[in-house]
Amino acid sequence: MRNYIVAPLTEEIVFRGCMVPPLLASGMSTLKVSLIAPLFFGIAHVHHAMTRISKGERVSSVVLITIFQFLYTSLFGSYVSYAFIRSGSIIAVTFSHSYCNWMGLPDL
């Protein structure tokens, strides 16, 4: 419930619905907004590092995992920011976010 409904909906409302329109209204281009706004989305996921450290994982491992997580959440944030700008639909990007959470990363 949390990973597939609550988190995607609240994150999309905050990070797309509340951050993207003011940036666009300030005169930023779609490209800049699609690249800058997601950085805050990536930063918002850094708190997972504290959970990993408290569970006893090595700090060096946690740093690498956190950097990777920041990069892929920022990349995904760029995609959904652009999709939100083009569609204007929080529901569409929420479903995209839920699907991404459900699929996870490829198991290489």
**Residue 30 carries which side chain, given as an amino acid letter?**
T
Catalytic choice (11, 12, 57, 97): 11
100 token code pair:
């991404």
Active-site residue among 12, 45, 48, 57? 45
Distance (Å, whole) CA 54 – CA 80: 31
Question: Is 47 noted as a catalytic residue in this protein?
Answer: no
Burial-class residue 18 by CB neighbours within 10 Å (0-12, 13-18, 19+): exposed
Catalytic status, residue 11: yes
Radius of gyration of the chain (CA): 15
Could you tell me where the beta strands, DSSP code E, fall in the chain?
Answer: none
Residues noted as catalytic: 11, 45
